[in-house]
Amino acid sequence: MNVLNATPFPLQKVVMIGAGRVASHLAPALHAHGVQFVQVYSRTMASAQLLAEKLDAEAVDSLEALCCDADCYLVSLTDEALLALAPQLTKGREKALWVHTAGSVPMQLFEGRAEQYGVIYPMQTFSKEVVVDFPSLSIFVEGSSREALQQISQMASLLTTHVYEADSQQRKALHVAAVMACNFVNHCYAMAQCWLEQQGLPFEAMLPLIDETARKVHYLKPTMAQTGPAVRGDSHIIDEHLQLLSMAPDLQAVYRLLSERIAARRVCE
């Protein structure tokens, strides 16, 4: 993967297709750097209007209302919606640059449907309520041609200097890693929250531990930062914990599986 250095984004008219979590962060960030959005599409008008107001753009809730003369269509939909709607979205708009934001959908989705296309994949977790620090994150790009790649990298470079080229297979591998490092870890937080609430204890007590664990992997490999009874081989403590968790079989199963994996240690060595 190569870092790409790009000049300012040249495309003048952009349509945002989607108004969910990624779109609600990505489009305003681009708009703040001078990207002109002319429309926002969402299947619900309320969502389209909410985002369109931030972009000084027109809100639409039907595919028929999408303009046909934009320079770029930036698509941020669920994977299922993206796959289902691609033929309708691109019809009559084949000469524009088509860019989607999905982690696991190949850019070839647009092959035969658009002349120029690609992907801009911001490697981050998005929640509508939490501001995203774009300059600190990594964005992975792919293009169907040198020109498309250059234009997409220019878009990404408005937001961060950490821009990398990655093909669809590499991006899918990134998405797998992101699910493990973010979604699975957050689910463990949720399980810990439920468990603590059942014991009359506050989840907030875990925050310093969570913060320190995340901080350590900035300078230690995760395999080196691992602590706890499983890595120490403390079977007595593990058995006690499993016994306590007998009242919560789902948590007990997760605890046992992860303890076994940690004890195995050599996840990538």
Output the pLDDT for position 129.
80
What percent of the chain has a predicted confidence (pLDDT) above 90?
A: 83
* pLDDT over 90 at 7, yes or no: no
Please count the other Cβ atoms lying within 10 Å of the Cβ belonging to residue 9.
Answer: 22
Contacts of 103 (CB under 8 A, 6+ apart): 121, 171, 172, 174, 175, 178
Three-class DSSP labels, 180-248: HHHHHHHHHHHHHHHHHHHCCCCHHHHHHHHHHHHHHCCCCCHHHHCCCHHHHCCHHHHHHHHHHHHHC
* Average pLDDT value for the chain: 91
pLDDT > 60? residue 150 = yes
Task: Write down the pLDDT at residue 268.
Answer: 53
pLDDT tens digit sequence for 176-192: 999 999 999 999 999 99
pLDDT at residue 1 is higher than 60: no
Tell me, what's the pLDDT at 128? 77
Dump pLDDT digits (tens) for 80-96.
999 999 999 999 999 99
Task: Count the alpha carbons within 13 Å of 89 in the hemisphere toward its beta carbon.
Answer: 29
Q: Given a cut of 50, is residue 102 above it in pLDDT?
A: yes
Least confident of 12-21, 71-80, 124-133: 124-133
236 pLDDT band, cuts 50/70/90, is very high
Average pLDDT (219-246) is: 92
pLDDT at res. 6: 46
Euclidean distance between the first and the last CA atom of the chain, given in angstroms as a whole number: 22
Q: What is the mean pLDDT of residues 31-52?
A: 95
Span 160-169, mean pLDDT? 94
Domains and CATH numbers, the chain: 14-166 (3.40.50.720), 173-264 (1.10.1040.20)
